[in-house]
Amino acid sequence: MKIPPPDRRSAVLDAKRELKMARSAHAFVRGSTDQFYRWITSSATTTIPVGPAVWICGDCHIGNLGPIGHVAGTAVVEMRDLDQTVIGNPAYDLLRLALSLAMAARSSDLPGVTTARLTEDLIAGYENAFEGEAVSEEIDQLPPPIRLVMKRAVKRTSKRLLDERIGGNRRTIKLGSRFWPLSDDEREAVRSLIEQEPVRRLITRLEDRDAEAPVRLVDAAFWVKGCSSLGLWRVAALVEFREEGKKGERSLALLDLKQAVEPSAPWAAGLDPGLAPGMRVLSGAQRLAPALGARMLAGKLLDRSVFIRELLPQDLKVELDQIDAGEARRVAYYLGKVVGRAHRRQMDGEATRTWLAELAAHRTKNIEAPSWLWTALVQLVGLHEHAYLEHCRRYALAEARRDEPESPT
């Protein structure tokens, strides 16, 4: 593909995002956070309870949960994308994850009754996290789809990470469909940021690295990555450092520098602290995903608020392209516990009791999940199915016609 100049990036990325969202109904849900919250805050929504104000993910779909590398070299399953994090209503994370599970089930041609069961299992796992049931990180105890990702995560090496992301041990990032050139001003700003002491400490804090070693930028490129984040400024920065005990030898690390903007998720009334967007993302990560939050920094680059993290080999997302009913239910229960753990650590005893009582109320004989969650989910599925088809008509139909072979008549 022809690489656009820096001043034409936005238009090209917007078009790529629209086409990416048209790939499947589940992909559309991942990229339509704005629409989700427009519905949540509209008069059309059913009554959703207001839970204790805590930091929430804000975009709690399946792909935003998965293995995260820890500074000690282990991996834990946590929220892995906090771009939308705010102090808000924990019910929004439950509803967004329920929607993601429902659309994944539909993509796997699972019957509607499975979606109802997934909602029950999600709530059961979430509630059990509040009651002290631990989130297992033992590979053989994980649901099969998450077990598969975790096995890959713990075996993945830094060399494999670089192979997959930028093409191996080369010291330059190959430009093409995934990486575009930076302007001179952008490159110099990235270099200046990398040379700051907080960034150096971030990179050298892993236990097998020399804590006093200098860090140097090797190469950097604009990164065409994500779905809902396509269109935001994002850079992959390749840096080198010295590992402990390896005299004179230099190793490479890959940093992700990502623009943060104002969230679509609504703040709880009166609790917006007025943080810069990058600091907002960092603050939410520190509370919701400690393994990730410990590896992040917030800063400013040119006129953009950004957050920075090193990509570790263990960082992987969970994908549910095709799944059977039993596996889907185990995944729903497990991810419910992951989200429950993240919310629970922020609540005191009284808030926990009040929130669990709210979740236990409003249940019917037909489904072991709060009626508000099921009713809202049914409405959201219908809304997103309609919006997805309209999205395909508007953004993908013309391209599909261009790709069709000419009619023989």
Give the separation between CA 202 and CA 256, rounded to whole angstroms.
12
Q: Is 307 helix (H, G, I), strand (E, B) or coil?
A: strand
What are 98's two structure tokens? 């329920």
Q: How far apart are CA 57 and CA 95, in angstroms?
A: 12
- What band does 247 get if pLDDT is binned at 50, 70 and 90? low
H-helix or E-strand containing 256? strand 251-259
Q: 3-state class of 208 per DSSP?
A: coil
DSSP H or E segment with residue 236? strand 234-241
Name residue, tokens 């892995």: 80
At 27, phi and psi to the nearest 5?
-65, -35
* β-strand pairing of 86-88 with 54-56: antiparallel
Run of H or E residues at 87: strand 86-88
Q: For the segment 206-233, what is each residue's pLDDT rounded down to a tens digit?
A: 767 778 888 999 999 999 987 767 778 9
The pLDDT tens digits for 120-174 are 999 999 999 998 888 888 888 899 999 999 999 989 988 899 998 888 667 889 9
pLDDT of the residue at 179: 93
> What separation in angstroms does the CA of 130 have from each of 142, 159, 282, 316?
19, 39, 24, 26
Of 84, 37, 30, 70, nearest to 320 by C-alpha is 30
pLDDT in tens, 374-406: 999 999 998 888 888 998 998 888 777 666 666
Backbone torsion region of residue 322, taken as left when φ is above 0, otherwise alpha when ψ lies between -120 and 50, otherwise beta: beta
Position of tokens 């920094």? Answer: 297
pLDDT at position 231 is 76
Segment holding 297, helix H or strand E:
strand 296-301
Write the DSSP symbol of residue 302.
T
**Sheet with 251-259, edge to edge strand ranges:** 179-180, 216-223, 234-241, 251-259, 304-310, 296-301
Class of residue 266 by CB neighbours under 10 A (exposed 0-12, middle 13-18, buried 19+): middle
> Which percentage of the chain shows pLDDT scores above 70?
94
Hunting for tokens 């393994």 — which residue is that?
Answer: 291
Torsion-angle region of 253 (φ positive above 0: left; ψ -120 to 50: alpha; else: beta): beta
Distance CA 21, CA 396 (A): 9
- Across 193-248, where does the E strand assignment appear? 216-223, 234-241
Which of 183, 317, 324, 308 minimizes the C-alpha distance to 256?
308
One-letter identity of residue 324: D
- The pair of structure tokens assigned to 407 is 């009619």
SS3 359: helix
Rg (CA), the chain: 22
Task: Provide the CB-side half-sphere exposure for 14 (13 A, CA).
Answer: 4
* Amino acid of residue 247: K
User: Average per-residue pLDDT in the chain?
Assistant: 89
**Structure tokens that stand for 130 in this block:** 């509040």
Here the tokens at position 310 are 């090193």
pTM score: 0.92
Spatial contact of 272 and 255, defined as CB atoms under 8 Å apart: no
Q: What angle do CA 58, 63, 69 make, to 5 degrees?
A: 95
Q: Return the minimum-mean-pLDDT range out of 200-209, 250-259, 308-317.
A: 200-209
Cα distances from 278 to residues 10, 138, 162, in angstroms, run 20, 33, 26
Closest CA to 180 of 350, 2, 331: 2
Residues 308-346 pLDDT 10s: 999 999 999 888 878 899 999 999 999 999 999 999 999
